[in-house]
Amino acid sequence: MNKGTWLVAAAIWGILVIVGSAGIGNARPPANCIGIDACFNNTGPVAGNSCNGDEACANNTAAIAPNSCDQETACQGNSGSIAPNSCNGPGSCETNSAAIAPNSCEQETSCEGNSGSVGPGSCNGGSACYHNTAAIGQQSCNDNAACFGNTAPIGTNSCNGIAACDCNTTPIGPNQCNGDGVCKGQCT
């Protein structure tokens, strides 16, 4: 083999090795953010098994803990940290801007527009905490539209029922307003 042929062969072999190495490195999918735009615009760390759905954590800017944001647009617009097993429903925490504790926001649009903190086991129901702006304690606001449009703090184990505290503007303590529409405010 002459010198020119040897150089061409060496160059081709080098290109094949580089291309092959890139293919091997990318053959295995990453552990996080599986799905189209699953963690779109995220700038914080994402833990394992998170953001597994189309646009699941779109526009998120904070840390997301394991097993979160598993459905389409689940935490869209979120800017607070999300704890494990949260935001598991299409649009469930859309435009949320506060921390979400474990096992919360598991239904469609349940915390959409929320800007208050949500305690563990709360806001589980269609539009349960839609446009809420105040802190919600644990085990509260669990049913459809339970705390829809609420603007006052809600204690633990309160406002569990369909529209229980819908459009509420008065602070509610623990273990209160449990039942359908019992503390419903005047919606405008």
Count Cα neighbours of 58 within 13 Å in the Cβ-side half-sphere.
19
Per-range mean pLDDT, top range of 68-77, 101-110, 156-165: 156-165
Binned at pLDDT 50, 70 and 90, residue 5 comes out as: low
Instruction: Render pLDDT for 138-160 as a digit per residue (tens, 0 to 9).
Output: 999 999 999 999 999 999 999 99
pLDDT range class, residue 26, cuts 50, 70, 90: very low
Q: Kindly tell me if the per-residue pLDDT of 188 is higher than 80.
A: no
For residue range 29-56, list pLDDT tens digits in order.
Answer: 445 677 778 888 888 777 888 888 888 8
Report pLDDT for 22.
Answer: 33
Is pLDDT above 70 for 176? yes
Q: Are 160 and 140 in contact (CB under 8 A)?
A: yes
* Rounded CA separation 122/141 (Å): 6
Report how far residue 31's alpha carbon sits from residue 163's, in angstroms, rounded to the nearest whole number. 39
| pLDDT tens profile 79-124 | 878 888 888 888 888 898 878 888 888 888 999 899 988 999 999 9
Which CA distances in Å does 58 have to 23, 63, 78?
28, 13, 8
